[in-house]
Amino acid sequence: MISFENVSKKYDDGTYAVKNFNLHINEGELLVLIGPSGSGKTTTLKMINRLIPLTEGYIKINDKMISDYDIHELRWDIGYVLQQIALFPHMTIEENIAVVPEMKKWEQKEIDQRIDELLHMVGLEPETYRRRLPNELSGGQQQRIGVARALAANPSIILMDEPFSALDPLSREKLQDDLIELQKNIKKTIVFVTHDMSEALKLGDRICLMRNGGIVQTGTPEALIQQPANDFVREFVGVDQAEERMVDVRGGVKPVNPEEPDNLPIVDSRVLLNEILSLLGEHEQLAVKEMDKIIGTIDRQGIIKILSRQMEGMK
């Protein structure tokens, strides 16, 4: 879907923001770019829609170089959500969402239907919010509108640059959960920049950890926890050696569904992190027991959510 081939961004003073960057992002994947300040993650994101021009190498979308796309069409076909929500303050919510569809000359009836669909999708009642101004909404509600606006023209790619970092912890966790559920339904290719490892573990199908403009390690959340490439990864991920760590999984347990198979592997409610991650690498879900009684099931997202909450609490 998106391919970086030996991509570098060099500034006039000779410094590199990104150097020899190679990565393939799969269609429908939520890929998280993370790293310390100055690692090049936001520069990498902004090169995708040509907000920052690359110096060397190639970026391709569907095997076509981004330089071969009309720049306006490219940006209209890529949704963009910022930390600074950047809604137009003098425009109503419906007008904010309609900006790109209007530029693409959609019929008004189609735009109206899309606005209603998107407001429902992000959990806001159209009749209540359509005609409000941004300053009449909370920060979390404004960010939901930012997500809706990014999805307005049904782009295949969404870029998200630390979209939740300015929100209070409760709003941030709620929007993270909403994004997970939303992605299950819309299956967009999402590139998500964050500086928060717990957020990366919770959201990412894969995580690309950057340092000094290059990639240190790319892999699933489980891979970074269980198989850190070096001490920098181990320290940045911020977890103990997996085989030494016990986790209480009750916070991620779902009720037993009668339609689920009854021969799922069983784990205790307190289990070694290494053990449960290994099992979830082989099975979509596990049964959880406590005092010899099955109390529910847990999947990969459940255990990663528990782990991210524990890391949030250690800050």
Say if residue 268 is in the same domain as residue 157: no
Residue 16, helix vs strand vs coil: strand
Q: What angle do CA 25, 26, 29 make, to 5 degrees?
A: 95
Say if residue 95 is in the same domain as residue 108: yes
- Assess whether pLDDT exceeds 90 at residue 218: yes
DSSP secondary structure of 228-263: -SSHHHHHHHT---GGG-EEE-GGG-BPPPTTS-S-
pLDDT per residue over 42-56, tens digit each? 999 999 999 999 999
Query: pLDDT tier at 222 (50, 70, 90 boundaries)?
Result: confident
Alpha helices in 98-208 (DSSP H): 99-103, 108-121, 126-129, 139-151, 169-186, 197-203
- Assess whether pLDDT exceeds 60 at residue 242: no
Query: pLDDT tier at 105 (50, 70, 90 boundaries)?
Result: very high
186 phi/psi in degrees, rounded to 5: -95, -25
The percentage of residues in the chain with a pLDDT greater than 70, rounded to a whole number, is 95
Residue 26: domain span: 2-237
Written as six digits, the tokens of 21 are 């960057």
- As a whole number, mean pLDDT of residues 9-30 equals 97
Say if residue 206 is in the same domain as residue 115: yes
Query: What's the pLDDT at 291?
Result: 86
Domain count, the chain: 2
Task: Give Cα separations from 184 to 29, 106, 177, 189, 243 (angstroms).
Answer: 10, 27, 11, 12, 31
Say if residue 141 is in the same domain as residue 73: yes
Higher-scoring residue by pLDDT: 128, 86? 128
Query: What's the pLDDT at 244?
Result: 55
pLDDT per residue over 63-73, tens digit each? 999 999 999 99
Query: What's the pLDDT at 259?
Result: 66
Strands of 293-299's sheet in order across: 266-268, 285-290, 293-299
User: Could you tell me the pTM of the whole model?
Assistant: 0.85
Q: How many other C-beta atoms lie within 10 A of the C-beta of residue 95?
A: 16
Average pLDDT value over all residues in the chain: 91
Query: What's the pLDDT at 132?
Result: 97
pLDDT per residue over 74-100, tens digit each? 999 999 998 877 899 999 999 999 999
Structural domain ending residue among the three candidates 221, 237, 253: 237
- Assess whether pLDDT exceeds 50 at residue 143: yes
Say if residue 201 is in the same domain as residue 290: no
Query: What's the pLDDT at 187?
Result: 94
Strand partners, 160: 81, 192
The percentage of residues in the chain with a pLDDT greater than 90, rounded to a whole number, is 69
- Assess whether pLDDT exceeds 70 at residue 239: no
Say if residue 226 is in the same domain as residue 304: no
Residue 135: which H helix or E strand, with range? Answer: none
- As a whole number, mean pLDDT of residues 234-243 equals 68
Query: What's the pLDDT at 169?
Result: 86
Burial annotation 26-36 (CB, 10 A radius, 16+ → b, else e): eeebbbbbbbe
Say if residue 258 is in the same domain as residue 278: yes
Say if residue 225 is in the same domain as residue 276: no
Query: pLDDT tier at 170 (50, 70, 90 boundaries)?
Result: confident
- Assess whether pLDDT exceeds 80 at residue 148: yes
Greatest Cα-to-Cα distance within the chain, rounded to the nearest angstrom: 66
> What is the distance between the alpha carbons of residues 107 and 130, in angstroms, rounded to a whole number?
18
- As a whole number, mean pLDDT of residues 194-198 equals 91
Strand partners, 209: 34, 217
Structural domain ending residue among the three candidates 194, 219, 237: 237
Structural domain ending residue among the three candidates 208, 237, 266: 237
pLDDT per residue over 251-310, tens digit each? 889 888 776 667 899 999 998 887 888 888 788 889 999 988 899 999 988 888 887 777
Query: What's the pLDDT at 219?
Result: 96
Query: What's the pLDDT at 312?
Result: 67
